[in-house]
């Protein structure tokens, strides 16, 4: 499996590895080492450039710990639950719905505890680990609870989505920024879920990064002013009908989908089309992308239509972005619970805005990028390499002296110091030049600069392109320009 191979590279190269490893680590928590963190930072910047900056949305940073009241209002306290069943013999806890789906291929989303228990009994399902009997199914809340204050602790939770800060702070931000509808607020940050069985590396984590945008608009005026940018575009949509009939996604024009009511409004259509473009730029083949209209029984409690952007991994289609039409659900509930009026004035009319939300999983997305860019040893060279999109590469270039003698390292260092002022560069003088190319390729560095004996004579170096392996000689004074050409700034 590609997943295991990429995971091995991530571990060996310190890109992404388990947290608190020296103590054995806890599933679902990962550290991002220097290379991984550099890729993540670049991803976040690219996301900002693509989804935030051109549209004048505002970005905030809210707190990770929020009081219980917030989640009472949002519905998470009651509804953010997964069904679990425990093996009476080995005590392993299983996600009841996943276990049933895996063993019987039945679709059981939205079924109650009683219904799930009945299916387990009827089908005679046993613990996949030891064959023991399974307990009755019960619901388990996925939020991580904590207490604030040393005495008489005030209950609080680590946020399970970044969105709630945006809803609870909406009124203040709207006033402070002299807002008018439509009005977009974004947040990039950590979310936490006490997942029952974290697995598949970055697919299901207990602590993960989300990038969410909440666009607030007047339901009587739901036009998206940027819709013209995307209205000609086609996107791969898997409709509810197609799902029922076991069909594949088909390319559907965004404008038509909005006009026929398949997509509930222009804002949602706009984000779906932008996402398709963005994920293609990330190197995910278009045929491995689709927007699945969630079936009514799977749609979250707050949503009037959800379209998941899914990627086809080796292990099946998985959601990487949740797109929801959250209506006025969150603002209405927070108004009721806080007794604060969260409506805004639109030409003398009181309006409780409706919301469209694209919610990106950063870790899952980066995992997809790593998997699709991974070229295994033997593909076209004798080592693994990553055809990372150049705008995500951890370094723009690597600088190597051909050998570590005869003044070459000193000259290479000098060049490295110059490049460092303009680009992100990496210096390495250990091992054979072939091994150093291989190490650079494995983490997706787009260009390698080698300082050799000729450099000492004519102030030229070789520059090697990661993808083509082609080398050419360039003048040192032209080096920044040449590297920029390769990474296509
Ligand atoms: N605010 C809406 C929301 O949070 P979601 O579909 O639950 O919606 C959005 O999550 C995205 O966050 C998912 O598409 C996924 O990429 C990411 N995500 C959710 N749970 C995750 C987990 N346990 N581990 C890694 N990523 C997760």
- Whether 186 contacts 44, CB under 8 Å: no
- How close is the Cα of 68 to the center of ligand 1, in Å? 21
- How close is the Cα of 361 to the center of ligand 1, in Å? 5
Which atom of ligand 1 is closest in space to residue 162's alpha carbon?
1
DSSP classification of residue 341: -
Residue nearest to ligand 1 atom 19, measured at CA: 361
Residue nearest to ligand 1 atom 2, measured at CA: 359
Evaluate: CB of 273 within 6 angstroms of ligand 1: no
pLDDT-based confidence at residue 153 (cuts at 50, 70, 90): confident
Q: Of 366, 359, 331, 367, which is closest to residue 161 (Cα–Cα)?
A: 359
Among the residue ranges 85-99, 132-146, 295-309, 339-353, the one predicted with the least confidence is: 295-309
Q: From CA 84, how far away is CA 177, in angstroms rounded?
A: 45
Task: Please check the confidence at residue 390 and state whether its pLDDT lies above 50.
Answer: yes
- How close is the Cα of 355 to the center of ligand 1, in Å? 18
Task: Classify 53 as helix, strand or coil.
Answer: helix
Q: Please state at what angle helix 163-176 crosses helix 329-338, rounded to 10 degrees.
A: 80
- Whether 212 contacts 271, CB under 8 Å: no
Evaluate: CB of 310 within 6 angstroms of ligand 1: no
Q: What average pLDDT score do residues 390-410 get? A: 97
Task: Classify 170 as helix, strand or coil.
Answer: helix
Q: From CA 382, how far away is CA 378, in angstroms rounded?
A: 5
Backbone angles phi, psi at 9, to 5 degrees: -65, -45
Task: Classify 138 as helix, strand or coil.
Answer: strand
Alpha-carbon distance values, 233 to 230, 240, 273, 274 (Å): 5, 21, 7, 9
Evaluate: CB of 329 within 6 angstroms of ligand 1: no
Evaluate: CB of 319 within 6 angstroms of ligand 1: yes
- Whether 370 contacts 1, CB under 8 Å: no
pTM: 0.95
Q: Please state at what angle helix 362-373 crosses helix 34-47, rounded to 10 degrees.
A: 110
pLDDT-based confidence at residue 342 (cuts at 50, 70, 90): very high
Task: Please check the confidence at residue 400 and state whether its pLDDT lies above 90.
Answer: yes
Q: From CA 174, how far away is CA 347, in angstroms rounded?
A: 15
Alpha-carbon distance values, 159 to 50, 111, 141, 145, 150 (Å): 26, 26, 13, 9, 21
Evaluate: CB of 165 within 6 angstroms of ligand 1: no
Alpha-carbon distance values, 22 to 8, 9, 19, 203, 322 (Å): 17, 19, 9, 23, 35
Mean pLDDT (the chain, rounded): 96
Mutate to test the pocket of ligand 1, among 140, 200, 308, 359 (most ligand atoms within 8 A of CB): 359
Q: Could you tell me the two tokens for 244?
A: 């029922």
| Span 186-233, pLDDT tens digits | 999 999 999 998 989 999 999 999 999 999 999 999 999 999 999 999
Evaluate: CB of 195 within 6 angstroms of ligand 1: yes
Which atom of ligand 1 is closest in space to residue 206's alpha carbon?
23
Give residue 138's pLDDT: 95
Residue 180: which region, alpha, beta or left (left: phi > 0; alpha: psi -120 to 50)? beta
Task: Please check the confidence at residue 86 and state whether its pLDDT lies above 90.
Answer: yes
Q: Could you tell me the two tokens for 155?
A: 């209950």
Evaluate: CB of 201 within 6 angstroms of ligand 1: no
Q: Is the dihedral of CA 277, 283, 287, 288 positive or negative?
A: negative
Residue nearest to ligand 1 atom 5, measured at CA: 322
In sequence order, what are the beta bridge partners of 187? 60, 212
Residue nearest to ligand 1 atom 21, measured at CA: 204
Q: Could you tell me the two tokens for 183?
A: 């009005």
pLDDT-based confidence at residue 489 (cuts at 50, 70, 90): very low
Share of the chain above pLDDT 70, in %: 100
Q: From CA 367, how far away is CA 202, in angstroms rounded?
A: 6
| Span 436-446, pLDDT tens digits | 999 999 999 99
- How close is the Cα of 196 to the center of ligand 1, in Å? 14
| Span 115-150, pLDDT tens digits | 999 999 999 999 999 999 999 999 999 999 999 988
Task: Please check the confidence at residue 386 and state whether its pLDDT lies above 90.
Answer: yes
Evaluate: CB of 210 within 6 angstroms of ligand 1: yes
Give residue 365's pLDDT: 98
Backbone angles phi, psi at 281, to 5 degrees: -60, -30
Evaluate: CB of 361 within 6 angstroms of ligand 1: yes
Residue nearest to ligand 1 atom 15, measured at CA: 361
pLDDT-based confidence at residue 487 (cuts at 50, 70, 90): confident
Q: How many CB atoms lie within 10 A of CB 74?
A: 26
Which atom of ligand 1 is closest in space to residue 161's alpha carbon?
4
Task: Please check the confidence at residue 106 and state whether its pLDDT lies above 70.
Answer: yes
- How close is the Cα of 328 to the center of ligand 1, in Å? 21
Evaluate: CB of 68 within 6 angstroms of ligand 1: no
- How close is the Cα of 311 to the center of ligand 1, in Å? 14
Give residue 74's pLDDT: 96
Evaluate: CB of 215 within 6 angstroms of ligand 1: no
Q: From CA 233, how far away is CA 252, in angstroms rounded?
A: 8
DSSP classification of residue 87: B
Among the residue ranges 164-173, 301-310, 322-331, 352-361, the one predicted with the least confidence is: 301-310
- Whether 397 contacts 426, CB under 8 Å: yes
- How close is the Cα of 111 to the center of ligand 1, in Å? 21
């Amino acid at each position: 499996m590609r997943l295991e191979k990429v995971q091995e590279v991530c571990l060996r190269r310190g890109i992404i590895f388990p947290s608190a490893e020296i103590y054995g680590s806890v599933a679902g928590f990962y550290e991002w080492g220097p290379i991984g963190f550099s890729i993540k930072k670049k991803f976040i910047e690219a996301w900002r450039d693509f989804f935030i900056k051109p549209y004048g949305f505002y970005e905030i940073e809210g707190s990770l710990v929020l009081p219980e009241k917030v989640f009472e209002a949002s519905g998470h306290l009651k509804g953010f639950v997964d069904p679990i069943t425990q093996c009476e013999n080995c005590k392993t806890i299983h996600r009841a719905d996943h276990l049933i789906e895996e063993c019987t291929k039945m679709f059981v989303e939205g079924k109650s505890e009683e219904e799930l228990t009945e299916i387990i009994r009827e089908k005679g399902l046993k613990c996949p680990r030891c064959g023991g009997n399974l307990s009755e199914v019960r619901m388990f809340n996925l939020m991580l609870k904590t207490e604030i204050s040393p005495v008489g602790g005030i209950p609080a939770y680590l946020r399970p989505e970044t969105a709630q800060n945006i809803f609870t702070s909406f009124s203040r931000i709207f006033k402070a920024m002299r807002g008018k509808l439509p009005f977009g607020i974004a947040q990039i940050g950590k979310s936490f879920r006490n997942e029952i069985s974290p697995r598949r590396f970055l697919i299901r984590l207990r602590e993960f990064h989300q990038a969410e945008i909440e666009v607030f608009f007047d339901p009587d005026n739901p036009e998206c002013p940027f819709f013209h940018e995307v209205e000609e575009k086609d996107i791969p949509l898997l409709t509810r009908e197609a799902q029922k009939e076991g069909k594949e996604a088909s390319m559907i024009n965004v404008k038509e989908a909005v006009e026929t009511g398949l997509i509930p409004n222009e804002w949602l259509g706009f984000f779906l089309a932008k996402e398709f473009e963005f994920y293609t730029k990330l190197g995910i083949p278009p045929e491995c992308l689709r927007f699945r209209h969630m079936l009514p029984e799977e749609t979250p409690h707050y949503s009037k239509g959800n379209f998941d952007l899914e990627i086809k991994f080796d292990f099946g289609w998985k959601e990487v972005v949740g797109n929801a039409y959250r209506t006025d659900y969150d603002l209405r509930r927070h108004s009721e619970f806080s007794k604060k009026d969260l409506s805004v004035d639109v030409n003398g009319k009181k309006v409780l805005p409706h919301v469209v939300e694209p919610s990106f999983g950063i870790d899952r997305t980066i995992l997809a990028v790593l998997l699709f860019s991974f070229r295994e040893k033997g593909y076209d060279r004798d080592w693994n390499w990553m055809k990372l999109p150049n705008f995500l590469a951890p370094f723009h270039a690597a600088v190597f002296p051909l050998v570590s003698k005869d003044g070459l390292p000193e000259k290479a260092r000098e060049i490295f110091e110059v490049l460092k002022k303009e680009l992100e560069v990496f210096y390495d003088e250990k091992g054979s030049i072939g091994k150093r190319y291989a190490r650079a390729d494995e983490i997706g560095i787009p260009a390698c600069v080698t300082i050799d004996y000729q450099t000492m004579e004519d102030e030229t170096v070789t520059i090697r392109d990661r993808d083509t392996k082609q080398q050419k000689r360039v003048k040192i004074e032209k080096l920044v320009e040449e590297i920029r050409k390769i990474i296509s700034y």
